Amino acid sequence: MAIQDIYPTALRLLGRPVLVVGGGPVAARRAKGLLDAGAVVTVVAPVASPALREMADAGLLTWAARPYDSKDVDGVWLVQTATGDSEVDARVSADAEAQRVWCVNASDHEASAAWTPAVAVVDDVKIAINAGGDPRRAMALRDAVATALETGDLPLRRRRAHQGSVALVGGGPGDTGLITVKGRRLLGQADVVVADRLGPRELLNELAPDVRVIEVGKTPGHHPVPQAEINRILVEEAQSGHRVVRLKGGDPYVLGRGGEEAEYCRQHGVEVEVVSGVTSAISVPAAAGIPVTHRGLAKGFSVVTGHEELSEVPARPDHTIVLLMGVGQLRESASALGEAGLPENTPVGIVENGYLPNQRVTIGTLGSIADQADAAGVANPAVIVIGDVVRVSPFAPSHFKTADYSTTTPNSPRKPRVLTT
């Protein structure tokens, strides 16, 4: 049988009787697939695998524990052979042919009247691939196509009318490789993208030409599109039947407005999904080799914005403080932490444009960092890390390295530091 002889189609088997001849693992897989399609399945085999027996015991299919009989094909719509015996499979196939019933012959794909494709389901798209009767080749191709759909490399957008929805997608700190697979797939399905100025902006260039991008990005002290207007846009676009992706930098639920946007959508009857992202609070320090926790240096961390009071944050070098959006008030924040008891020689690292080509790292101490930032012209987007973990960074000056931490003897206790005034 040549591939040109194949006419691809899809069968609706809901409520229709089908026959599986054979009781092994292949028969079990085929029976499961037929049950998933809603078929009424009868299995004929003297012995059945545990998987088939489970399905029979659960009442999902009928198992006739006996050898095949020619009358078994009477009245069925489709036959699948999987006995492992080519002579039995050929007889079943011939009986089905005589009654004009389609039969998949697992023993001889060349002689088979029908082939079973390799199948995958992504969203509401079902992929079925035949590869010249080579099942392993078909499975490899199926997996590659499914992955391309899941990651957004192939278009998954609906082209006909559908119910509108909103997905709040955390895009990570900006590198296109740091968005989640699910977030990438939802972006590929979007009709409308409501985009921040941060996050994986390059992905917007890969959208179809008819996808509308609504820019709502904010900069410190400049919010051209107020939050109330962003909320209104999300609901209005979804109620117009569009699939809306709210593409945000980092994680939408970490010091962002994702919770407010989700609540507003739900209050207005709009389906909303939240897809967590790689938060810049952890990932951007990591881009500079700074872990927010490190055995022997810090067991916990706090994430705050530069606009928040720091009085409730533990003022200790062994408790990491991560400041988001804190460049504008860095001097005030450093002073407040100093007044709370944090030593002036506590290491501080600032990572600008994390993971982007223009990433820059500035490292100093609590007492010096504000002057260093002013001299260097440090600007947002930036993440500020305060605490002894900054010592681990490969960008830290050599005199920051101490014996207070170790990766080769990680269970060694942290040595107490004696501070002098």
Active site residue ranges: 196, 218
Sign of CA dihedral 130, 136, 140, 146: positive
Place of tokens 């990572």: 351
Output the CA–CA distances (angstroms, integers) from residue 276 to 206, 313, 359, in the order listed.
Answer: 21, 25, 24
Amino acid at 70: S
A 10 A CB-CB count for 280 gives: 31
**What tokens appear for 236 in the block?**
């209005």
- The 3 state secondary structure assigned to the chain is CCHHHCCCCCCCCCCCEEEEECCCHHHHHHHHHHHHCCCEEEEECCCCCHHHHHHHHCCCCEEECCCCCHHHHCCCCEEEECCCCHHHHHHHHHHHHHCCCEEEECCCCCCCCECCCEEEEECCEEEEECCCCCHHHHHHHHHHHHHHHHCCCCCCCCCCCCCCEEEEEECECCCHHHCCHHHHHHHHHCCEEEECCCCCHHHHHHCCCCCEEEECCCECCECCCCHHHHHHHHHHHHHCCCEEEEEECECCCCCCCHHHHHHHHHHCCCCEEEECCCCHHHHHHHHCCCCCCECCCECEEEEEECCCCCCCCCCCCCEEEEEECCCCCHHHHHHHHHHCCCCCCCEEEEEECCCCCCCEEEEEECCCHHHHHHHHCCCCCEEEEECHHHHHCCCCCHHHCCCCCCCCCCCCCCCCCCCCC
Residue 178 makes CB contacts below 8 A (sequence gap 6+) with 171, 172, 200, 277, 278, 283, 355
